[in-house]
Amino acid sequence: MEIRLNRVEFLNELVPMQGIVERRTTIPVLSHILLRAADEHLHIAATDLEVSLTSWCEADVQEEGAIAIQAKKLLEIIRASTGEEVTLRIEQEGLLTIMVGKSLFKIRGLPAEEFPTLPNIEDEKPVRVPFKTFRNMVTKVFFAISSEESRFQLSGALMELKGDSLVLVATDGHRLALVESEVEGLEAADGVLVPRKALQEIQRFEGEDLNFRRSEHHLSFTISRRQLICRILEGTFPDYERVISKDNDKAVACDRQDLSAVIHRVSLLTGDRARAIRLELQAEQLVFSAANPDLGEAREELSCDYQGDGLSLGVNPDYLSHFLNVTDTERVRLELKDENSQCVAYPVEGLDKRYVCVIMPIRL
């Protein structure tokens, strides 16, 4: 193999590969990326066997070839170099020579044959979605995805295609986030569970359109020159419509930024483990308070639009803050019922067809 390519373009494609490779693994090749020179391109691939990412750079290919190279070290070399052009050459088996400007590196790699074979679902019919819309939707539900490996069916988000809209739903059992956006040209399809890691990496991409494909066991997301393929999560996702309360009879609206600031200040007096504050609903005001025997107490009032009976319940301040941080409206609405019922939060006049966050109460 011998090729020449632009260093900046090469670096831009190496960076997103780092989120895919497995650095702590008993399979050495999973900490490597595959470099394959062919057809005037350098093709790049990374995988952890569950999620894979492929991309390419334009290159002057003098001799075709392939090798697997340690991902972190290759990135460090290309990032630290200062020349405009990179030359990659395999002069002897298992050894890659890298020349950038006046710098020369020789780094040992693994045979390309040891790199796992990646799934190919190009034959499936693509579904096109504006990437900005999709990335915005992922941001609004990502915080609710469970990080507990034992709850595998909740370690991703449910994606549903309806006739005129796209739906993403995530829950960790303590809260639920649902966002629905209008997308033209969709055909209704059964829901599919997208892994957390795949959604996390997709948020880092840039592009105009996302092409989504689905096979029996895999999903692919293509944005510009990058294609991310992941294994579909197996398991039954909860019936999310039944989780969202429809009979909360107390609704309060207030300024989003003011509410966020009050929650932040009051939560300063909560413990690292016992994250709970008291929310009291009174006429024309919300009162937030926290009490910690080791730290002290905090209390603050916030004006709001409400006339009705009083109510008090405990909530996790982080759950409310996560919702408020990703909501892009000036005002939000909280719907409540009693101290044992969920708090349901909505943006007021948002751009999404529907966005809702359900937060389960805490017994204080």
Q: What is the CATH number of the domain that holds 213?
A: 3.10.150.10
**Same domain, yes or no: 182 and 270:** no
Give the pair of three-digit tokens for residue 282. Answer: 């009174």
**Same domain, yes or no: 306 and 345:** yes
CA atoms of 332 and 352, how far apart (whole Å)? 14
**Domain-terminating residue out of 72, 89, 114:** 114
**Same domain, yes or no: 102 and 168:** no
Give the pair of three-digit tokens for residue 58. Answer: 């334009």
Give the pair of three-digit tokens for residue 324. Answer: 């408020």
pLDDT by position in tens, the chain (length 364): 999 999 999 999 999 999 999 877 789 999 999 999 999 999 999 999 999 999 999 999 999 999 999 999 999 999 999 999 999 999 888 999 999 999 999 999 999 999 999 998 887 888 999 999 999 999 999 999 998 877 778 999 999 998 889 999 999 999 999 999 999 888 888 899 999 999 999 999 988 999 999 999 999 999 999 999 999 999 889 999 998 998 999 999 999 999 999 999 999 999 877 789 999 999 889 999 999 888 899 999 999 888 888 999 999 999 999 999 999 999 999 999 999 999 999 999 888 999 999 999 998 7
With b for 16 or more beta-carbon neighbours within 10 A and e for fewer, the 154-184 pattern comes to bbbbbbbbeeebbbbbbbbeebbbbbbbebe
Residues linked to residue 3 through DSSP beta bridges, in sequence order: 61, 88
DSSP H or E run through 321: helix 317-326
With b for 16 or more beta-carbon neighbours within 10 A and e for fewer, the 313-332 pattern comes to bebbbbbbbbbbebbeeebb
Domain hosting 226: range is 127-241
Contacts of 222 (CB under 8 A, 6+ apart): 126, 210, 211, 212, 213, 228
pTM beyond cutoff 0.85: yes
CA atoms of 51 and 14, how far apart (whole Å)? 16
Alpha-carbon dihedral sign for residues 78, 79, 80, 81: positive
**Same domain, yes or no: 231 and 261:** no
CA atoms of 245 and 237, how far apart (whole Å)? 18
DSSP H or E run through 80: helix 71-80
**Same domain, yes or no: 225 and 270:** no
- Residue bearing tokens 């650095």: 23
**Domain-terminating residue out of 241, 261, 289:** 241
In a domain, 153, yes or no: yes
Give the pair of three-digit tokens for residue 65. Answer: 């070839």
pLDDT confidence of residue 124? 83
**Same domain, yes or no: 288 and 225:** no
pLDDT confidence of residue 185? 83
